Amino acid sequence: MQPFVYNALPSRVVFGFGTLAQVAEEVRALGCSKALVLTTPQQRASGEALVRQLGDLAVGLYDNATMHTPVEVTREALAVVESVGADCVVALGGGSTIGLGKAIALHTDLPQVVIPTTYAGSEATPIIGQTENGLKTTQRTLKVLPEVIIYDVDLTLSLPAQMTVTSGMNAIAHAVEALYSKDANPLISMLAEQGIAAIGRALPRIHANPEDREARSDALFGAWACGVCLGAVGMSIHHKLCHTLGGSFDLPHAETHTVVLPHAVAYNTDAAPEAMARIARALGAETAARGIFDLAAKHGAPIRLADIGMKEADISRAVEIACSSPYWNPRPIEPAAIRQLLDNAFSGTRP
């Protein structure tokens, strides 16, 4: 066994079916009594229902959570926090809502109860990404780690099949990069492989039957496992590219992860053979890159940047941004090779 360092993250996880009923209990356990519920505009009705469920524990609903966590939205939400005197936030939704909850916590230290409805995995990390002036930046701080995560499998049963696949691929990306991170350690590597395998076996079943409760449970567990991996170790070229494409070119988050991941894995294949073997084994695939690509392609997910809003003319600028301040990566960041990576992702070439 090689020497390693592992920092466990302090958070409480409640996982199961029907666990939404426990939100009030968790708010009280935090010593809070003035919860501001957060959602996106699309999930406003679910947020209103949660406000009613919380009763006197809720002081309002803010329903303008936005993809990539724009700082101007955070400022607006902070004004609402102050006006209603909130002493905690309850984020109900996917990565956009969870990101807003984290942004509020970054500025206020308010405790967070998070109820994920997708497989984004952000809830399990002390990482926040924010967008300002067309650039997305990230930082890691325990101030944004949610105190409580409530996983209710029932809330994911209505997640559309294609959104399920892209959200699941987003989660897999967290575990993939954890396997070849400079901070990789045996505990996280085992959890990463388990998370990839759980989502890899769940997605085909959910695609065939979106109401398969056992498969939904596997996928949600896998999302948590993959999120924990991202929270414990560092990010590499895949996340840098996705942050660039999302923050600077406004591409949709989960879809961007889905398209870029197999090509980022192909880029790092020779530099991280042990990680690639684990990924391929978890997916039951010939190679890691092809296993990831095929999992998306066979289940209706986008496989080309061209199909999710990227313009070919913007690829050069994306390369410039991504290479100007790169994350650590097992293979050196070479602009010409990154250009080829993005060209392949733009056209949807199978690795």
Instruction: Kindly report, residue by residue over 277-313, the tens digit of the pLDDT.
Output: 999 999 999 999 999 999 999 999 999 999 999 999 9
Which pair of tokens denotes residue 48? Answer: 């209103």
Say yes or no: 181 and 293 in one domain.
yes
Sorting pLDDT into bands at 50, 70 and 90, what band is 1? Answer: low
Say yes or no: 40 and 78 in one domain.
yes
Q: What is the pLDDT of residue 5?
A: 81
Task: Count Cα atoms within 13 angstroms, Cβ side, for 174.
Answer: 30
Say yes or no: 190 and 337 in one domain.
yes
Say yes or no: 271 and 145 in one domain.
no
The vertex-57 CA angle with 54 and 61, nearest 5°, equals: 70
Say yes or no: 57 and 169 in one domain.
no
Say yes or no: 239 and 287 in one domain.
yes
Say yes or no: 47 and 152 in one domain.
yes
Torsion of CA 310, 231, 189, 203, to 10 degrees: -50
Higher pLDDT among residues 138 and 244, named by residue:
244
Sorting pLDDT into bands at 50, 70 and 90, what band is 136? Answer: confident
Tell whether 115 is covered by a domain: yes
Tell whether 128 is covered by a domain: yes
Say yes or no: 330 and 293 in one domain.
yes
274-308 burial, b for 16+ CB within 10 Å, e for fewer?
ebbebbbebbebebbbbbbbbbbbebebbbebeeb
- When pLDDT is averaged across residues 104-118 and rounded to a whole number, the result is 97
Say yes or no: 121 and 238 in one domain.
no
Tell whether 6 is covered by a domain: no
3-class secondary-structure state, position 119: coil
Q: Is residue 8 over pLDDT 90?
A: no
- Asked which of 130, 156, 182 is the last residue of a domain, the reply is 156
Q: Which domain holds residue 129?
A: 12-156
42-52 burial, b for 16+ CB within 10 Å, e for fewer?
ebeebbeebbe
Residue position matching structure tokens 């807003």:
100
CA 45, CA 328: separation in Å to the nearest integer?
42
Q: What is the pLDDT of residue 134?
A: 82
Say yes or no: 46 and 165 in one domain.
no
Say yes or no: 92 and 30 in one domain.
yes
pLDDT in tens, 210-231: 999 999 999 999 999 999 999 9
Query: What is the arrangement of strands in the sheet containing 112-116, beginning at the earlier edge strand?
Result: 12-16, 148-152, 112-116, 88-93, 35-38, 58-62
- When pLDDT is averaged across residues 176-193 and rounded to a whole number, the result is 95
